[in-house]
C-alpha cells in the first residue's frame, strides 16, 4: 500500500525519502543524454532542423494519445492500490491531456503537419508498447507512478533548458518549450516526484528495483524518441 505523508511521518518513515534523487545522481549520464539531447539542445541554439521538429510534432501527437491510456491505467492502480490520496493530482494530469491534444492539432496546422497521415516510427512504436504494458494489473502502482514522474520530468527538464537564460530558441518554437518548460509544469513534476518518493519509501526491495528499472527504461526510450525525431530510426 501507499500511505499519505501524514501516515508515513507517524511511523517514522521518510529517512530514505529521496530515492528518486539518488537514482538521478547514480544514473546522471543517462539522465543528461535524455534531457540535453542534441535535438532539444539544437532548439535552444536556434539551429534546429525544422523538418525534424515537424517529425517530432507528428510523432509526439501519437505518443500523447497512447499516454492518455497509460495515465488511465496509472489512475486505476492509484484507486485500487493506494489510499487514493494521489487521485486528484493524477486526475488533473489526465484532464490536462485533453487540452494538450487540442494544442497538438493547432500546432500541427501551423506547421502544415497532416496528423491523419502520420504513422508511428520504430522508436515511437517501441515506447508505446512499453506504455501499453502498464495495463497489466501485475504492474504495481509504485512502478507506474515512478514511470509517470520520469516521463514528464524528461520533457520538463529538456524544454526548460530551451527557455533558460542565454537561449536562442526561435520565437515560433517558444510556445512548445513553454508548454513543458513552465514553472507550473515543473511544480506538477515535483508533486509527482513527492508521490513517487513516498511510495518508494514503503516499497519492498523488489518493487523498488522494478521501479528503478522502469526509470532507466524510460530514459532509454526518451533518448530513442529524440534520436528518431532528429533523424529517421
Ligand atoms: C516522448 C514523450 N515523452 C514525454 C512527454 C511528456 O508528456 C511527451 N509528450 N512525449
Q: Which position has the higher pLDDT, 145 or 10?
A: 145
- The ipTM estimated for the assembled molecules is 0.98
Residue 73 falls inside a structural domain: yes
Task: Report CA(151)–ligand 1 centroid distance (Å).
Answer: 6
Cell digits of residue 52: 525534424
- Judge whether 150 lies within some domain: yes
Q: Is the pLDDT of residue 137 over 90?
A: yes
Q: How confident is the model at residue 4 (pLDDT cuts 50, 70, 90)?
A: low
Q: Is residue 25 part of a domain?
A: no
Q: pLDDT (tens digit, 9 = 90+) per residue, 192-226?
A: 999 999 999 999 999 999 999 999 999 999 999 99
What per-residue confidence (pLDDT) applies to 82? 76
Query: Which DSSP symbol is given to 164?
Result: S
Mean pLDDT over 149-158 rounds to 98
Answer yes or no: is the C-beta of 66 below 6 A from any ligand 1 atom: no
Give the chain's domain count.
1
**Over the stretch 157-191, which tens digit does the pLDDT of each residue have?**
999 999 999 999 999 999 999 999 999 999 999 99
Whole-number pLDDT of residue 232: 53
Q: Is residue 32 part of a domain?
A: no
The answer to whether residue 17 scores a pLDDT higher than 90 is: no
Q: How far, in Å, is the centroid of ligand 1 from the Cα of 180?
A: 9
Instruction: Choose one of 39, 57, 64 to mutate for the ligand 1 pocket test, by most ligand atoms within 8 angstroms of C-beta.
Output: 64
Query: How many CA atoms, within 13 angstroms, populate the side-chain half-sphere of residue 38?
Result: 8
User: What pLDDT does residue 9 have?
Assistant: 46
Do the Cβ atoms of 134 and 69 come closer than 8 Å? no
pLDDT in tens, 26-57: 999 999 999 999 999 999 999 999 999 999 99
Cβ pair 223, 32 in contact under 8 A? no
Is the CB of 152 inside a 6 Å radius of any atom of ligand 1? Answer: yes
Q: CATH code at 224?
A: 1.20.910.10
pTM, two decimal places: 0.93
On whether residue 11 sits in a domain, the answer given is no
- Ligand 1 and 225: CB distance under 6 A: yes
Which atom of ligand 1 lies at the shortest distance from residue 124's CA?
1
Domain that holds residue 149: 49-230
Residue of 66, 107, 212, 222 marked active site: 222
Q: What is the pLDDT of residue 10?
A: 42
Identify whether 121 is part of a domain.
yes
pLDDT score of 12 more than 50: no
- Whether 3 has a pLDDT exceeding 80, the answer reads no
Q: Judge whether 94 lies within some domain.
A: yes
In whole angstroms, what is the distance from residue 217 CA to residue 227 CA? 15
Assess whether 117 carries a catalytic annotation.
Answer: no
- Ligand 1 centre distance from Cα of residue 68 (Å): 11
* 81 within domain boundaries: yes
Q: Indicate whether 231 pLDDT > 50.
A: yes
CA distances from 201 to 4, 11, 88, 154 (A): 11, 12, 21, 22
Flag whether pLDDT at 63 surpasses 50.
Answer: yes
Provide the phi-psi class of 46: left if phi over 0, else alpha when psi is between -120 and 50, else beta. Answer: left
CA distance 121 to 123: 6
Tell me the DSSP string of 73-142.
HHHHHHHHHS-STTHHHHHHHHHHHHHHHHHHHHHHHHTT--GGG----HHHHHHHHHHHGGGSTTS-HH
Please say if the pLDDT value at position 122 is more than 60: yes
Q: How far is the CA of 165 from the centre of ligand 1 (A)?
A: 23
Amino acid at each position: 500500500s501507499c500511505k499519505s505523508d501524514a501516515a508515513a511521518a507517524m511511523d517514522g518513515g521518510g529517512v530514505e525519502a529521496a530515492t528518486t534523487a539518488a537514482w538521478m545522481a547514480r544514473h546522471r549520464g543517462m539522465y543528461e543524454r535524455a534531457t540535453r539531447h542534441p535535438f532539444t539542445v539544437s532548439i535552444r541554439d536556434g539551429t534546429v532542423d525544422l523538418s525534424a521538429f515537424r517529425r517530432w510534432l507528428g510523432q509526439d501527437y501519437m505518443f500523447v494519445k497512447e499516454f492518455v491510456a497509460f495515465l488511465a491505467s496509472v489512475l486505476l492502480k492509484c484507486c485500487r492500490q493506494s489510499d487514493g490520496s494521489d487521485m486528484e493530482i493524477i486526475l488533473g494530469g489526465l484532464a490536462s491531456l485533453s487540452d494538450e491534444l487540442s494544442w497538438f492539432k493547432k500546432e500541427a496546422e501551423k506547421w502544415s503537419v497532416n496528423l491523419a497521415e502520420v504513422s508511428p516510427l520504430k522508436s515511437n512504436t517501441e515506447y508505446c508498447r512499453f506504455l501499453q504494458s502498464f495495463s497489466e494489473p501485475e504492474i504495481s502502482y509504485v512502478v507506474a507512478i515512478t514511470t509517470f514522474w520520469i516521463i514528464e520530468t524528461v520533457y520538463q527538464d529538456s524544454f526548460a533548458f530551451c527557455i533558460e537564460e542565454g537561449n536562442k530558441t526561435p520565437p515560433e518554437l517558444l510556445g512548445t518549450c513553454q508548454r513543458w518548460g513552465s514553472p507550473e509544469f515543473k511544480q506538477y513534476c515535483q508533486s509527482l516526484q513527492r508521490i513517487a518518493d513516498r511510495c518508494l519509501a514503503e516499497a519492498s526491495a523488489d518493487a523498488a528495483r522494478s521501479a528503478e528499472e522502469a526509470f532507466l527504461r524510460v530514459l532509454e526510450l526518451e533518448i530513442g524518441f529524440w534520436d528518431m525525431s532528429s533523424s529517421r530510426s
